[in-house]
A and B are shown apart, each in its own frame.
Chain A
Amino acid sequence: MWKILLALLCGFFVGKIGQNSSFLRRVGRVFTTGGLLFLLFAMGVRLGMDESIRQEFPRFGSLALGCAFASGVGAAVLANVFERLLGRRTKR
């Protein structure tokens, strides 16, 4: 976790140094998009290669999807209720 926070901090300082540089802003965007797409690709590779996941998918797939959906929705809905209660709707 500390590596991630350190990378964020380093990126922030580099960004601050070249705050007015449109080139650096573009580089930041390329890093973000490229990093994300590679992470997704790697995640797909892992899932595709994992024999146990493919074998157990018929047994666990729908249950896992249900759990994932329920926990995600639960978090989002309660966060929304909390945001409304505090009256701090994030500007969109």
Chain B
Amino acid sequence: MSLTLTINGEPHQIASDPDTPLLFVLRDELKLKGAKLGCGLEQCGACSVLVDGESVPSCVTPAAVFEGKQIVTVEGIEALTTGARVQAAFVDASAAQCGYCTSGLVVAATALLSAHPDADRDQMRAALDPNICRCGSHPRILAALESITQNGAADT
């Protein structure tokens, strides 16, 4: 039986083996390359996607597990009010250097601010902790998020 995944609001018939980790279905079959392969071990967050509103790594868990769930990748996040705000805030705050972690962090930040529009700095640091950034853009990323929370908070 074939697998159907709902990604960025659209149903997709998946041809890959359902045991394939979601990340490889997204990147290899659907050519959604925003989520990055960073470790393949759920340790770095580069592959984060929104699943029913939560930021989860996609590099290990089989795609079949995500059937019936709402998957939003960084490519689709602009459709969410908070997602679009996070993207704009990242640009305004110059919140990336090499950009390899950026997709995952945009996803993680969107998940946080959607659930907690008034998140304080400690909540931000805790929510983004699963995502590694090696370039040291952390202060700019936190500033980007604070520019949202301090400007009338994020809608969902």
Do A and B belong to a common assembly? Answer: no
